[in-house]
Every structure is written in C-alpha cells, then in structure tokens.
C-alpha cells in the first residue's frame, strides 16, 4: 500500500473504532439513579429553562425533550451547579426577588443526581407514572404576579445619590452591555438597605427585578447607586 493510502486506512479504521466504543459506552451507561427526565427533570426544565431553550427562544440550544437534552447532560450539570443557568444578573444575597428564576438547592441536587446517575429518560419503578412530588418542584419564582400598571408609578432616575420616597416594588436598571450597578437606599434612621446588585448586564434583555417584599422608603430616604459605565434606573412604586 502507498504510504498515503495506508495512513488513510488507519484513520478510517481509527474513526470506526472510536465511534464503535463510544456507542458501546453509551449503550452500556449504567443507570444508578431513580431521578428521571420524565418525572423530575422535565418539569424543572419546563418551568426554568424552556423560556429560552425552546425554538424561537433566546438560546439556540433547544432543551425541551429528552432527545434534545440528553447530549447536553454534562454541560447541563456544569451550568446548573455553577449557577450560570438559568441566567439572572442580580448577585445572590443582595436583595430578594419574586421573579428570581434560580433553581433551589434541591432542584440543583436533582439535576446533578440525574446526570451522575446516567441521565435516564424514565425511572424503572412506576414507568410513566407521574409522582405527586412533581408539583412541589419549581413552584417558587413562577407564582409572582406583576401588579397592574394603574396601581404603580415608575420614575426614571440617573444613577447618582438623590432623595427618594415611596413604597418601592421593583427596579429596572438601564445599563450598558456588561455594566454593573449596586443599588441601595439610606433610610432616615441611618440604616442601609441593599436593593440589588446587578452584574454583567445585557441591555438586549432588560429585566425588572420585583422585590419579594416592598421596601418602604420614608421621606428623607436617599437612593445610593454605585455603577460602572452609563446608567439610569427605573424605580416602580405603589401608587
């Protein structure tokens, strides 16, 4: 055989061997978890991922069916454990938001267990039977109700220290791409209330952050904003 053909033959044989072994490996993936796509994972993805990971969504990667999600299993675990997904630009621990889509620690543990256990489509036990626990998963975050326009007023303010007063319901930062902003209020009694800390902002997808509990800013309160880059902020108050 000519050296070139010989090399080609080796390459082709190698490619076959690789695909043969990877096929075998996936066919022999040991399923070591009872967590399944049908029962636990799919409801979580419907509630927290499908908004972007479906056709026409913000992401080009659809994750609404088992067949779509399975090849991404390793990456899904990574994204969920590091909390890069679902995307949310408010830093954790600063403010508490009714529309925060983040997974609960329990949901994260379910996703990780599902991937580590071989990412099965259904659990052998009780095939096709939906457990009652599904409803308990992914209820937070989707339950909030945005108040009607008529009952609110919105003020657009520059990002600098200034007086504010009212019952604050939500903040909508207007930052440049990748911008960040720390938003707080100083109350007349000297207390500081952190409202939100927004990082790595994406102006293509403006987000309103609805406070889980309205913040009452009595007269004499001041808005304090630390930001990088150009910045304005919409504050939504109860009328």
Comparison of 76 and 168: residue with beta carbon closer to ligand HEC: 76
Comparison of 58 and 153: residue with beta carbon closer to ligand HEC: 58
Range in contact with ligand HEC (rule: CB under 6 A) among 7-15, 57-65, 177-185, 186-194: 57-65
Q: Which residues, including other chains, have CB under 8 Å from residue 91's CB and lie 6 or more apart?
A: 197, 198, 199
Upstream peptide bond of 86 is cis (omega within 30 degrees of 0): yes
Read out DSSP for 93-125? TSS-BTT--PPPHHHHHHHHHHHHTT--SS-ST
Among 79, 116, 193, 202, binds ligand HEC (CB under 6 A): 79
Among 34, 46, 72, 187, binds ligand HEC (CB under 6 A): 72
Q: Is 35 in the site for ligand HEC (CB under 6 A)?
A: no
In 3-state terms, what secondary structure has residue 62? coil
Report the nearest approach of ligand HEC to the CB of residue 84 (Å).
8
Do residues 161 and 231 lie in contact, with contact meaning Cβ atoms separated by under 8 Å? no
Among 6, 11, 12, 51, binds ligand HEC (CB under 6 A): 51
Q: Is 60 in the site for ligand HEC (CB under 6 A)?
A: yes
Nearest to 178, CA basis, from 206, 197, 203, 208? 203
Report the nearest approach of ligand HEC to the CB of residue 159 (Å).
24
Among 62, 86, 95, 141, binds ligand HEC (CB under 6 A): 86
Comparison of 86 and 120: residue with beta carbon closer to ligand HEC: 86
Q: Which residues, including other chains, have CB under 8 Å from residue 62's CB and lie 6 or more apart?
A: 53, 54, 55, 68
Among 54, 85, 224, 233, binds ligand HEC (CB under 6 A): 85
Cα angle at 192 between 225 and 179, to 5 degrees? 25
Among 19, 22, 59, 142, binds ligand HEC (CB under 6 A): 59
Structure tokens at 87: 């995307």
The CA radius of gyration of the chain, in Å to the nearest whole number, is 24
Binders of ligand HEC among residues 97 to 136 (CB under 6 A) are 101, 103
Binders of ligand HEC among residues 129 to 148 (CB under 6 A) are none
Range in contact with ligand HEC (rule: CB under 6 A) among 2-10, 76-84, 176-184, 228-236: 76-84
- In our burial notation (b when 16+ CB lie closer than 10 A, e otherwise), range 50-68 reads eebbbeeeeeeebbbebee
Chain residues binding ligand HEC by CB under 6 A are: 45, 48-49, 51-53, 58-61, 72, 75-76, 79-80, 85-87, 101, 103
């Amino acid at each position: 055989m000519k050296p070139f053909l010989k090399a080609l033959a080796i390459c082709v044989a190698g490619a076959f061997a690789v695909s043969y072994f990877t096929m075998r490996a996936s066919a022999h993936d040991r399923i070591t978890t009872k967590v399944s796509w049908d029962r636990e994972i799919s409801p979580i993805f419907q509630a927290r991922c499908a908004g972007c990971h479906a056709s026409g969504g913000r992401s080009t990667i659809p994750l609404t069916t088992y067949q779509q999600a399975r090849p991404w299993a390793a990456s899904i675990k990574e994204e969920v454990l590091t909390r890069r997904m679902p995307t949310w630009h408010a830093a954790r621990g600063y403010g508490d938001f009714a529309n925060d889509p983040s997974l609960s620690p329990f949901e994260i543990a379910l996703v990780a267990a599902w991937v580590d256990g071989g990412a099965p489509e259904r659990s052998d036990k009780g095939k096709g039977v939906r457990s009652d626990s599904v409803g308990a998963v992914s209820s937070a975050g989707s339950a909030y109700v945005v108040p009607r326009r008529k009952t609110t007023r919105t003020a657009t303010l520059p990002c600098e220290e200034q007086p504010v007063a009212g019952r604050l319901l939500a903040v909508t930062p207007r930052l440049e791409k990748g911008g960040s902003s720390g938003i707080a209020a100083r109350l007349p009694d000297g207390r500081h209330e952190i409202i939100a800390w927004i990082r790595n902002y994406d102006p293509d997808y403006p987000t309103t952050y609805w406070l889980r509990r309205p913040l009452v800013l009595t007269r004499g309160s001041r808005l304090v904003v630390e930001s990088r880059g150009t910045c304005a902020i919409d504050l939504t108050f109860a009328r």
